[in-house]
Amino acid sequence: MKPLQPTDDTSMNSEQALPQRADSELAAALRGANERLAVAALEAQESSRREQAAREELQRQNEQLRASNEFLVKTQEQLRKLSHAVQQSPSTVVITDLHGHIEYVNPKFTQTTGYTPEEVIGQNPRLLKSGEMPHDEYERLWAIITSGGEWRGEFHNRRKNGELYWESASISPIRNAEGAITHFVAVKEDITERKRVESQREQLLVQVQQEQHRTQEMIHMIAHDVRQPLTIARGHVQFLRRSLARGDHEQVERSIEAIELSVKRLEAMIRDMVDSAQLETGQLRLERQPLALEEFVRESLTHLSLAIGGGPAHMEAKASMVVNADPNRLERILGNLVSNAIKYGGPESQVTVTIGEQNGEAVVSVSDRGPGIDPADLPHLFDRGYRAARTQQAEGLGLGLYITRLLVEAHGGRIWVESCPGEGSTFSFTLPCL
């Protein structure tokens, strides 16, 4: 048995230190690995979190993009509808820049004015001016819209073909997102037909008012003029009773004649009222027949001279014609004109009836050498109920010449008067020849 050898502490310590160092290094390596694993795990978690966040962000962006696309589609659809609405609008639409130069017009503009877009783009809307709107109104319009307000009013403009038309317009500014005015838009409606109807309505209203005034005057005249022969007749009835009681046959005869005259006057007034009403309403029917004008006028003048107790009128026939006329109504026309000439021409005035031809029409003229007619009365002589200043006290309703005109026109003719104060008057009318 070998004796124990003393150990070398240094060697022993070295050998013991090696495993310890290895364990320490291993532990350190393990810690490092664990730390790296932990870091890697953290990095993996962070990467996973970032990927999730990225996916969520991408999804959010995709949703935003989809929403944006939907909004864009809706906006485009709205713009399309708006564009179609403007294009198909029954109103004229005009858009100008800040200087008033036209940038857009819709089809209704062309339909209304006759100008194509190519003719007006870059032009000023003043090319439509008719010159009837005051310059001050244009200045007021411009001041309103440039200050941000809306102008409403009417234009009387001129189309491309020169025809005038009426427009109702609303003009206002267009603003951008910042609120600045960038353009002006005018929306206009053609109201020419409405204006025409309004004008007709106003004219009709004036005519109705005038007719009401004439009717009131006519009622007043009828009340006055009809009362006069009735009063005369009533007075002579009383005279007649007293005369009969006294046996005064001469006074009885005078009263009977006065009553007969009053009745004739009433009959004439009633006839005038009935005839004028029938003529005005188109209810008077003419019984036309071919008439040899010269022979008919000559016979009518003979009848008339016997009826009114005056001398026969002188007749001059410059042409021989046949007309298609109602003999009773034609005799009424001649009777009215000749009796007026005798009544207002004066007792010494000669009445001449002339027959002639002009432009294929028969022309009959009745002339006198009386005092003539005031020029102020000439335009109104054939109006219903009109009486010239010098005939205000004359008998009747003032319907004679009015009925004469209506009878002439019913035959398709015309009637007029020529007169100079102090030189007499000439009433002429035409009739179509056969």
Whole-number CA gyration radius for the chain: 54
Stronger pLDDT, 158 or 55, i.e. the higher one: 158
CA distances from 159 to 133, 199, 329, 410 (A): 15, 21, 50, 41
Is CATH 1.10.287.130 what the domain over 197-281 is classified as, yes or no?
yes
Q: Are 309 and 340 in contact (CB under 8 A)?
A: no
**Residue 425 bridge partners (DSSP):** 368, 419
Q: Which residues contact 110 (CB under 8 A, 6 or more apart)?
A: 116, 117
Given a cut of 90, whether residue 172 has pLDDT beyond it is: yes
CA distance 129 to 105: 17
User: What tens digit of pLDDT does each residue of 386-433 get?
Assistant: 776 555 445 555 678 888 898 999 999 999 999 988 888 999 999 999
Q: Say whether 289-432 and 88-191 share the same fold.
A: no
The tens digit of pLDDT for each residue in 82-141 reads 777 677 788 999 999 999 999 999 999 999 999 999 999 999 999 999 988 888 889 999
CB atoms within 10 A of CB 239: 17
- Tell the residue number behind the tokens 């002439």, with chain if given: 408
Q: Which residues pair with 175 in a beta bridge?
A: 181
Neighbouring CB atoms inside 10 A of 402's CB total 22
Task: For 264, list phi and psi in degrees, rounded to 5.
Answer: -60, -40
Q: What is the H or E stretch that residue 92 is in?
A: strand 92-96
User: Cβ distance 273 to 298 under 8 Å?
Assistant: no
Task: Give the DSSP H or E segment for 406.
Answer: helix 400-410
The larger pLDDT score, comparing residue 55 to residue 167, is at 167
pTM exceeding the 0.85 threshold for the entire prediction: no
CATH topology of domain 88-191: Beta-Lactamase (3.30.450)
CATH architecture of 289-432: 2-Layer Sandwich (3.30)
pLDDT tens digits, one per residue of 263-304 = 776 777 677 777 777 777 777 788 899 999 999 998 888 877
Is the CB of residue 360 less than 8 Å from the CB of residue 431?
no
For the chain, domain boundaries: 88-191, 197-281, 289-432
How far, in whole angstroms, is CA 156 from its chain's centroid?
12
What is the H or E stretch that residue 323 is in?
Answer: strand 322-325
- Percent of the chain residues topping a pLDDT of 70: 85
